Structure 1
Amino acid sequence: NVDGTIYFPTDTLEVMSVSKSGSIFSLWVEEPAFSNSAGSISFNGGVPTPGFTGSSGKVLGIVFRAKKAGTASVSFASASIRANDGYGTNILTGSGQAQFDISGTQTATPDEPAPAEEPQNRTVSSAISSNTHPDPNKWYSNSDPRFTWSLPLGTTAVRILYSENPNSQPSVVYQPAISSKALAGVEDGVWYFHLQLKNANGWGPVSHFRFQIDTTKPKNFKIQIADDRDATDPIVRFIFSIAEASVTGDKDFIFTAKDEISGIDHFSITIDNSEEQVWQAKSGDVYNTPVLTVGEHTLFVKVFDQAGNYLADSISFEVKPPASPVITYYPTELVAGDEFLVRGKTTTNSQVIIYLEKEGEPAIIETVNSDADGNFVVHLKNGLKKGLYSLWASATDSRGAQSADSAKLSITVKQSDLARVGTKAINVLSIVIILVALVIALALLSLFGWRKVLLFKSKLKKETREAESKLHEMFNILRNDIQQQIKIIQRGSHHRVLSMAEKRVIKKLQESLDKTELAVEKEISDIEKI
């Protein structure tokens, strides 16, 4: 037994006729019918026991007429093929579709019967669609599906049902007819929505629509890390397994997760703050990260099922630097301009960077590759300038892992003997030039000082003469005043006898005046001798 509903676009195609001629079916549960307004064709037929055996057979012949140029797709909205096993098991594994490109060129059409809507003695059917669960083969986390269908002219009632059986007969009647139905809280699993329409000729064939619901997150999600993983490898490997598995060094992490309803769909992987990477994986697949830097990292993973439900987990891990290169030979002292040679050892086929830095100057950088034994050599032919240098190295191996810097070594670069002799000669000449310059400077300074002394002496004599003249003038005035006072006192002795005190004062004044005059004349004389 086979039943189905075919959809076609009503804007580009219309059915001219549906023919059972040459069909492998001899029994028809429902006669083939079509609706150009709804764009549907339905049928339900079969053959008696022992049924049909073969790889293919004709069921119907359908003639379409193109209404305009464009592309038209003809597909099954629903279909089932039931085995003749006594249970009516649906053995349909899939249904295809036909694509037609319609050009604008007009051609003569054969005489065909005029298009007809449903004959008056036909029942009706309608295809089911859903805007919440549109794809029957996809899983959805929405447990509240909604279904819609069209009602051909003359439909008086509908009956519906949803069940886990793809061939259930609907039993819930709605009269007058409804054209949509919303369900709520449907449990997880694979379900079928069943629809049957009724018109004046009775109940039509049943339409079926498959929908899948999964609202449950994946479970048992776990990230394991291998105890013997090479922590110096900057590329980290993940493997996905649906069951517990041992973790060995050929894989750094293992993800185990299950989803018993829709199944695992993909992983979302984020390392530190990097962009999220989507990994579509099946059990046994391995994911390799890009090269990671040395240091601590955090792995954050979400596992999604096919309905979009997810579970998350994270783990921290460290990428360690490989061993630093070892410098086995270098000169501790050399002469400026001499060639410079360094030898060392590291991992095989690695890129080695040699740094040679003089204090206060940018480092000299040389890059070489190690050989199959890990040996490397750096040769500087231009030599180095005088000074104290630091020497160290780092390496990046073939995996992209970068080592830490090696310990810094010291190198002293001295001047050559010839350069030192030349330097000494230059230093002696510099000293002689400086001494000559100092002698000349002292001579000039002495001349300048002597000239200043002569000018000062001339000025001093002039000032001395002026001071001497002024001093003589002032002393004469002072002497005259004192003499006048002495005379006044002496004139008083004509009238009375002077006391001993008054005599002593006159004597003392006269002596002081004589001594002062002698001292002033001596000092003036000494100044004139300068």
Structure 2
Amino acid sequence: MRGISRYVLFVFAGVGIYFAVFPLVFSRAQSSPASLFLGPSAGTYVVGSTFTVSIFVNTNGASINAIQADLKFPSDKLQVVSPSAGKSFIGMWVVQPAYDNRKGSIKFQGALPNPGINTNAGLISEVTFRVVSVGTAVVRFEDSSRVLLNDGKGTDILGQTTGGFYNLALPPPAGPAVSSPTHSDQEKWYANRNITLQWGSDEPVTKYSYVLNTQPVDIPDDIPEEPLRTTQSYKDLADDIYYFHIKALRGGSWGGVTHYSIKIDGSPPARFKIEINPAARTVTRRPVIGFQTTDALSGVDHYELKVVSLTPSEAPGVDNRTAQNFFIEANSPYIPELQLGEYDVFVRAFDKAGNYAQEIQRLVITDALFNIIQEIGMNFGGNFVVPWAVIWGVGVLLLLFALFFAYRYYRWHGRIHERREAGQLPEEVQRKLEELRLLREKYKGMFLAFACLAATLWAFHAPVPANAQSESGVASPPIITQVSKNITNREIFYAGGTAVVPNSAVTLFLQGYETGETISASVTADTNGEWFYTHPKLLPSGTYSLWAQARTGEVLSPPGPQVTLTVSSAALQLGTSRLSYEAVYFLIALALLFLLLLVGLFALYHWRHGKRKHQKFLEDVREAEESIHRGFAVLYRDIQLELSLIRKAKETGNFSEKERLQEERILRDRTIYRERNLGDRKGKVNLRKYEIILMYEILKNKSA
């Protein structure tokens, strides 16, 4: 029993160890990605030769069953002779290996039967390239490449790819030794389009045959060049990569060929735009300056940047020492630390031949208020600027509308006030009063209606309450290559350029066309012959002529080419002070806004007080109409009483012709005035109300 227990214990321990270790091993296999790589991954090969590159896979301990390897190569430097599928562990090609020498692409896609393959250097295929041009060729795997795990799910475990870097050169010289005083380095790009070549040989040479073209490898013909020379010049060549091929005739037979390359790029990089974020006019003092361009032939080598302040250093709150007057090498994006003011940002893009393209962008660092107020208008929502002309036009239009409504409210208020002061009632009310007066003349003794009306009219003519009132040398001259453009009389003037002699003294002359006054200033060129000058004061508006002279020791150069400079007026000169036009435009807009506010308050005042008086006037009219209704009700009641008396006389037989005519007139008047004044539903209600009041008064008098 003890042996059996020990055996069972060992079995369980083994099973436990297996289940504990196997997941770790499996997870390690899962976590180790596969890789694709080339062999050899580097090398140097001559133009015209071929070399073979092998494609390998490392599964890192995992079993795989499918591979897709897509390669990219420079078609101007390499061409595929043929991809070889003979030496490969791939059991079945899903798609036959294919290549495209025009696009520079190669594609392999294959699969393996179960259980796949586990390898650290499995050969997928081989590719043979032919070298067609000098330079550096990079062969890389594309992102579409995949290595699929044999797990039934097709899991892609490719984690790393390693391409190849190959140096492609001309064949070693087999003929005369060639050199060039103008283009000495065959790997370097030159901006000089004029070539001078020299050659020689240690052995006696009878003749030479040579040719200059764009073919990396070529053999000159057997026609010797006359006369015999050891130097040759070519002028004004186009931008390209040229190859000089030469061979020598010795002892009646032609020798080997020497190939010499010349790279010419005399064109600057492409024009580009300087992007400033968040905007070229911003409140942030750390703007982001971005720049990017391309060069068609030699490629972009580096960028240089310079920030020049246009704001006088004596201006309050401004320190233009945060800007630099010299170029520094910089990368995009570039983030400077600047103070309030205006700046010109210079960016130079250099290609590998030393040519450069220069761009300039104006940058304004301002506070929040003046970020909205600009010289051309007001900035709303980033880049949306409303011109001052539009703002003024809208302001004047609103002011005219406000004046129109203010005038109307003023006249309306005045009419309401006059009618209340004069006690003037509406025409309808006046007509009813006149009819009531005529009836009174017809029917004497009816004083109750006129008494009520008199009391109402007395209240109508009462004075307005107080709270309703209103409230109340010979040396070469320096060349000017940089000058501040589009500046105004509130921005600093600057100029820069190059001098032929490094560290020479450069004198600048600035003459005003209108006044003829000439000012001068001196600056020293640096070791590269570049110089830069910033004027310490603001220039008055006008047109100026600018030129420069250089002094080297006692030798003074003649004046250089003149540059015309125009300083526009962007500020009003008030004594020694300047008021910018954007401030003037803003003040005009504020004045319009102030006038609009005043007119609006004026219109609001007359509208409120006119409305209040109009309501009081309507209340007085309603009271007058109420009194008229009461007068007609009383009059109607009296007519009814008179008719009842006439009917009693008619019943007794004591009814004369005069009384008959009086009855007809009373009936006619009752019908007419009832229809005119008491015919509507409201009139009937009022009649019934006043009849009840009158009956109450009669009964009260009788009881008294």
**TM > 0.5 between the two?**
no
Q: TM-score, normalised by structure 2?
A: 0.26
Q: TM-score, normalised by structure 1?
A: 0.34
Q: Which has the higher helix share?
A: 2
